[in-house]
Amino acid sequence: MNMRIRLIHVLLVMGLGLLSSCGGEQGGEGPIVPPPPAPAEYADKRMPADWWGDAQKLEEGRKLFIGETNPDVNCASCHGKDGKPVKAGATDFRNPERMKLYSDSVWFWRISEGVANTKMKGWKSKLSEEDRWKLVLYERNFALSGKIWNEETKQWSEVGAK
């Protein structure tokens, strides 16, 4: 009888663990908190201003994201072709509440250097600086389409807004 109670307890704990790691608005990513600021070497880096509306650069970013341009780099293999993660722990790029907390320089830094204590590795050895910016341009479209980073206000703003 004691063994049966233990088995039920184990199954109950496992079931609750599965429930807490699935679904919901957060997709298992945890609470929405601002990322750490970009280190000094990245803090002043910005998306080239004329790129925000550049359809060709956006398409080049898409091809990079899905691994078409460089098969060694395939962001979609973790983050999903539509920005919905296909691997546990990958950031959901469709969540505007989370993604609006990432400045263009923080986003660029994370692509370049990776994210400590996660499976996200840095891509600066495989991608040029220009290609990493193309990824920022493309990835921001999942949750922040039509927005650009405004360094004066330190937030994402509608294209053309002051």
Distance CA 140, CA 16 (A): 34
Give residue-wise pLDDT tens across range 112-131: 999 998 999 999 999 999 99
Give residue-wise pLDDT tens across range 8-28: 444 444 443 333 333 333 345
What's the topology of domain 33-158?
Cytochrome Bc1 Complex; Chain D, domain 2 (1.10.760)
Domain spans, the chain: 33-158
pTM of the complete model:
0.80
Give residue-wise pLDDT tens across range 26-56: 345 778 999 999 999 999 999 998 999 999 9
Which residue, among 99, 132, 114, 121, has the nearest Cα to 29 in the 3D structure? 99
**CA end-to-end distance (rounded Å), the chain:** 70
The greatest distance separating any two alpha carbons of the chain, rounded to the nearest whole angstrom, comes to 71
Confidence of residue 1 (pLDDT cuts 50, 70, 90): low
Distance CA 46, CA 51 (A): 11
* Residue 147 host element (H or E): strand 147-150
* Residue % of the chain over a pLDDT of 70: 81
